[in-house]
Every structure is written in C-alpha cells, then in structure tokens.
Structure 1
C-alpha cells in the first residue's frame, strides 16, 4: 500500500475531474504528501479548460479523518510544534484554489469527515452525503481552534449559533441533521455517495459554466479577501496553541484514546 498514490484523479468524457483521497487504511487522514498531491490535483483541474466541474471524495469508508496525528510535526527553533507551515504552504492554498476556481466543486462525503476533512468538504460548492456519514470539528478536542477555513465556511452555511455549537462542543453531526441544517444539499444511500456526487458534477459540467462561475463569485460576497484573511488569522492562532499545555494534553489523549484533561493554560 505504501507505493499507492495518495490522491487519484479521473477525467470523465463530460469534463468532470474526479479527485479521490486514497489512504483508505488510515481513513484518508492527511499527511504532507497527501496534501501536496491534492494541491497539485486541484490546481491542475482549476487550470485545465477541459475540466468543467470537480468532484472530491474519499476512498473506502471515510471521506477524511483529518490530519494524521501519527505523522510527526516539525519543531520550531524554540522547540514548540510547527502548526502553521503546513497550513500556509499546503492546506490553506487548497481551500483558496477550490473557492477561487471558476468551476463548480461537488463534495461526495462517503463517511466521516473530521478536522481537515470538514475543511475540505465545506470548501465545496455543493455537498452530497451518505446517510451514515457524519461531520466532526475535532479541533477543540486537541486544544486548538479550527483551521483551513472550516469555521468560516461552516458559519456561512449554517449560521454562527450552530457553527459555535459544532466548533466549541466538538460533537459529531450526523448527515441527516446536516441536511436539516442546510450544511449538505443531498443525502444518498450508503455506498452511493460517489455515484450521486458524480451525477451532480456531470449535470453542472453540462450547464452554462461561464454563468456558474459568475454565480460562484456572487455567492462569495462583496469581500473576496475575507477568506484569505481568515486563513491567515487561523494559522497565527494555531501557532499560539502549540506552546500550550492543553495542546500537548489534547494530542496525547487523542493518541491514547481517552478523554483529555484540559487545564486552560
């Protein structure tokens, strides 16, 4: 499995670029290698005039479980974990590319989407979710704030009150409730998320893509730089968390599969 590509890309005759996170044995958890491959795939799809719509999904039983905590973090000169370099160089550029490309992006959430998995799903224009899928902003369980635009896009989709509920309590949101809240656009039977997402992406690819690009711009609002400023704020805050005892305890508790004992420092 080690020589398997971490991201798969397929092109359909209708002009859909289907991008699949491909670490199913690790629930498609993000490593820098996966992130770089995904950034390249998204960038190529955005720049290719033959691509009229993009589909994002995960292989196996998960969309993405978020950052792979087993993957060691680099350290800064003062010995604290480096929580910002990957955000600024890999993960945030993915989100910006998805939001800026003049093409519709469909997320097919086939299972759990947690942490960075939520960030990726929420950056899509439309989301199809399997009935047993769920969303989990697990950042608070690690003693950090959400990153890669997840809170920004969540608040846009469901409003600040529900966004605060998910971000501050870190509770799992079932796909059925996500549909009621307006977080996702469509539910489908388990095992059919990719097929339903591809059908939706194909429908969009066959539509007036110039007009769809304009609709995407209009829906982004009057402040196109707002997302970029938000991503930079998140990266700065993430690094501030790196030196806290709560972050160290949150990571240790996650690895030991127990409840964290936070001290507020």
Structure 2
C-alpha cells in the first residue's frame, strides 16, 4: 500500500495541473483588489499628509476668515477625524455649541476622505487670498502696508484694497494705512494722480463690523470715541488730497466705500458694481461728507433713498445720479480704465493740481465741518442700544 500511495503521489506531481477558468478569474480579481487596496492606502496617506499641512497652515493665517468659514472648517475637521456627527445636540442656551453641532450634523454621511479634501481646499483658498495681489514697482509696499497692495510708477500711485477674503472690509488697520498711502502719494513729487480699486470680486464691503467685536477694558464709550477719531482722520485725508483722485470700482461697494466716492474727482465702475449704504439697518448714520455732498450730486430725495432708506443701486443708476462718472462692461473695464489713466498721467502735473485747487479750496472748510459733525453723530450711534442690537442681529444672521 505504501508503494502504491507513493506511486500515485509521483504521478500526481508529474501531471500538468489544470486550473479551472473560474480560478483564473478569481486570481485576476484578487490581484486587482490588492493593487486597489495599495493605491487606496497610498492615496489616504497622501490625504493625511496634506490634511496635517493644512492644519498647520490654518494656524499661520493672519486674517480672521469670519464665523461662517470657521464653522465650516470646524465641521469638516470633526467629520474628517471622527466621521458622522455622534454628539448630543447642545442646549438652547449654548449658542456657540449649537452652531458648531448644526454645522457638523449638516455634513451627514460625508466620508472622512471627502471631508479632508474640502478642509484642505478651504485652507488653501484662505492662504492664497492672503498673498499680495500686486506689488509695488518703485515705492510702496515693501512690507509697509498689510491691508493694501500699493504700486507707484509712471506718475500713477495705485492703492488696491487687499483683504479679498473679507471682501475688502475696512478694519482699523486699513483705515490708518489707506490714509497713510494717500499722504505718501500727496507728498511724492513724481506722482501725478492716485487711483483706488479693490482686489478680488468686491471693491469694498464697507466697515468691518469686527471692529465692534472686542470691547476694550475702557468700555464702549472709549471704543466709540477712538473709532470716531480714526474715521475723522481717514476722511480728512480725502479732503486734503491735492492731486486728482480716481476710483476704479471693480465690484460691489458698501457703506463708507460708497460715501467717500463724493470726495473723488473721477469714478469709473464696472457694470456689475452695486452701491449701498445700509446705515439705518445697522443703527448707524452716514459719513464721508455724504450728508452734504450726495444731495448736491443727486438731489435731496434721491440722496435720502440711499443714505436713509438703504436703497441699493446699480452702476448705471449711480451714473445717472452723478455718483459715478462712467460705466464700462466688466470684460473691458480693466483695459479701458488703464488706457485712460495712462493718458491722464501724461498731463502736466502742476496744471492738474492747480485746476483742482480752487474747487476744493472753496469747499475745504465746509467739508471738515461736515466730517467732524458726522463723526460726532456716529460716536453717539455706536454707543446706542439700537446700534448694539442691530450689530448683534447681524452677527447672529452670519452665524
């Protein structure tokens, strides 16, 4: 029996093995699955590495991205690290906790990988938005300005509002830097004219309400009074600017970025720009000498629609009301305005200044008087319960 068994074993070894077709298919699928498994592991490792970089990069951002974006980042982080929301909903009095929970819960069954990818993209977009939109070719930014991109060449001093992630909202730092840039342009003998525009899709979304978010130890009154002093200096820089000042309104303009347009010499706008001063909605009042200039430009009734009743107008309507000089199609806005500015910059600079001087000099004392009065009223408004409640409601809606 041992001999027969051994012989059968030798025969079996010498006989070619026939592998069924299904067995071949199984082996082929298994190999593909193995390759896919390894690819998935490699991809996930890459995601994890990028995710860790994004977390580190988030901590280096200079700009506060705002409550809405911060909630999204928080939710994606929780989804990427834990998965579907598994925490109990916070109580009604825990406002912050409730907003965070709702943001996470809204992501539903989103995979961890997808949450990582979205998290990475948001952080990259925020970091990219903080890169300078434009650098100065001669004088200008060399680290001097953080909220502006300034260039100075061929007689044109260009001020670009450079907080695109915040729609170029004006914080206290931008108020000071913008005034400083105007002073620099005024004192530079090589500058013929100055231009102001915005980076990104907005010209300016107005006063950054984050200015009111942190009340100093001295209290609301001290904060309001300091804000009034900053604003009065800012508007005075426009009143005193001796050279032609041109506004290039590349997108929507809100609040103080609208009211100051009356202090420009020429204002060009893209046809997608809009103009709104929602002061009464926020319990505030007009500034920028607009309470004096707007009725002169467009009549009392038309001015009241904008300054009192928050009416948003198009670029064409702004042109009809003499707030805007000319409107260009968006696709041609940059090329058309650049051509004109280059032509203007070749004009005799002293002739331009002397032509502006009599017009401004006749109004200078009145403009400073109006500026002082408007700032005084605003300081009172900023301390009012009505203003405080309106701003709190605004932040609640944003949340």
Q: Same fold (TM over 0.5)?
A: yes
Does residue 83 in structure 1 map to residue 83 in structure 2? no
Aligned to 2:316: 176
| Aligned equivalents of 2:180, 2:338: Cα separation in 1 | 21
Aligned to 2:248: 108
| Aligned equivalents of 1:212, 1:186: Cα separation in 2 | 20
Q: TM-score, normalised by structure 1?
A: 0.87
| Larger strand proportion of the pair | 1
| Aligned equivalents of 1:99, 1:198: Cα separation in 2 | 25
Aligned to 1:39: 179
- Select the residue among 2, 11, 20 that pairs with 2:152: 11
Aligned to 1:161: 301
Runs ≥4 residues deviating over 6 A? none
| Aligned equivalents of 2:335, 2:237: Cα separation in 1 | 24
Distance 1:189 1:10, change over 3 A: same
Post-superposition Cα deviations, 1:117-144, rounded to whole Å, max 9, x if no partner, equal 1134332110000101011111111111
Which structure has the bigger radius of gyration?
A: 2
Does residue 59 in structure 1 map to residue 206 in structure 2? no
- Check conservation: 1:142, 1:251, Cα contact below 8 A: yes
Gaps of 5+ in 1: 259-265
| Larger helix proportion of the pair | 2
| Aligned equivalents of 2:348, 2:220: Cα separation in 1 | 52
Gaps of 5+ in 2: 1-60, 63-129, 132-145
Does residue 148 in structure 1 map to residue 304 in structure 2? no
Higher RCO (CA 8 Å, separation ≥ 6 residues)? 1
| Aligned equivalents of 1:191, 1:156: Cα separation in 2 | 32
Post-superposition Cα deviations, 1:77-96, rounded to whole Å, max 9, x if no partner, equal 4644733423423x333332
**For this pair of structures, how many residues does the alignment match?**
256
Cα RMSD of the aligned pairs, angstroms, is 2.2
Local SS of the residue matching 2:357:
helix
Q: TM-score, normalised by structure 2?
A: 0.59
